Amino acid sequence: MCATSLLYADEEYEIAKESKRAVETLVQTLTLGSEVAFISVPGELFVEFWLKINKEANTMRYGSTIISAYSEDYVGYIPDKAAFEKGSYETRLARWSRVTPDAGDQIFQAIIDCLRSSKGARDESS
């Protein structure tokens, strides 16, 4: 058995010892008017998500978007579905990657919902 296979077997064993079937985590947004949207993410989002978040924030007319990775929690890499299809190392079950192929889209949607909610509250108070 090669060293890589042993490494992944050890990682999967460590995850299995935790006996969790799901992980609940936290994303947060903080907006300063329409100028800045601060976003905290509990791991390392693939750049494709960063670009989508920035595009959506710009559509909502936020002047700047600042994304903080590894904030509040750590769920590991947060790959997009294409990375799962390719089978890149970031998608293997390990302590550095504990998410499903849908997790990135779920986190993206939670962030966008928070930004829309902030914008809605801001528009109502104007």
Give per-residue pLDDT as tens, 58-117.
999 999 999 999 998 899 999 999 999 999 888 888 878 888 999 999 999 999 999 999
For 35, the 3-state DSSP assignment is coil
Q: Distance between CA atoms of 2 and 23, rounded to whole angstroms?
A: 30
The pTM is what?
0.84
| Model pLDDT, residue 1 | 58
Secondary element (H or E) of residue 38: strand 36-40
Which residues, including other chains, have CB under 8 Å from residue 104's CB and lie 6 or more apart? 45, 46, 49, 78, 79, 80, 81
